[in-house]
Amino acid sequence: MASSVSGTEEVRMSALTPLKLVGLVCVFLALCLDVGAMLSPAWVTADDQYYLSLWVSCSKPLGSADWSCNSTLATDWHIATLALLVGGAVLTLLSFLVALVSLCLGSRGRCYKPVAVMLFSAVVLQVCSLVLFPIKFIETVTLRVYHEFNWGYGLAWGSTIFSFGGAILYCLNPKNYEDYY
């Protein structure tokens, strides 16, 4: 859409495409899933006798009604997993805020690239944490019962996928799609 004509040169404003709105929604969903994953008590569960979150590891001996819980922040791999996940969540939050502020101020075109870079960086950090977690868990924890990675771990993967989707949508060049909207 042409906003003004000066001489023979046409100046075009950057149109907000539906792709960028969908990207913003993806980033918002990624933030919500990040919060859910970090607060989740169930990253790993085992037959109602064991559960592990990012913050605490609890087990209940057979025949006992009491849970024995320990902080997971005593091991280096738990701290690394948490730091990488929180770092990715912070970058996702920053990219959401930049995208939202640029949307409100009308300076959308200049902020697409920084938002995409922050989201791709968040994805790299989160993928590293989500690969590190099961590898170190299987290496260090010996459970003699069936265990599974539960919904908290799944929420973290969901957040990573939505962040990746948002990053791709913010990489798309709006000038190529302006004429369609």
| 8 Å CB contact between 152 and 42 | yes
Q: Could you tell me the maximum CA-CA distance found in the chain, to the nearest angstrom?
A: 86
Q: What is the DSSP letter of 73?
A: G
**Tens of pLDDT along the chain (181 residues)?**
444 444 444 444 445 667 788 989 999 999 999 999 999 988 988 877 888 888 998 888 777 778 888 888 888 999 999 999 999 999 999 999 998 888 777 766 677 889 999 999 999 999 999 999 999 888 887 666 678 889 999 999 999 999 999 999 988 865 655 454 4
pTM of the model: 0.81
User: Which structural domains are found in the chain, ordered by start?
Assistant: 17-42+76-180 (1.20.140.150)
Sort residue 69 into left (φ over 0), alpha (ψ -120 to 50) or beta. beta
Q: Are the beta carbons of 96 and 119 closer than 8 angstroms? A: no
Asked whether the beta carbons of 166 and 13 are under 8 A apart, the reply is no
Q: In whole angstroms, give the CA distance from residue 173 to residue 176.
A: 6
What dihedral do alpha carbons 127, 131, 134, 138 form, nearest 10°? -170
DSSP single-letter state for residue 6: E
Tokens read off for 161: 């996928």
Give CA–CA dist 4/53, Å, rounded. 56
Pull the structure tokens for residue 127: 């993928």
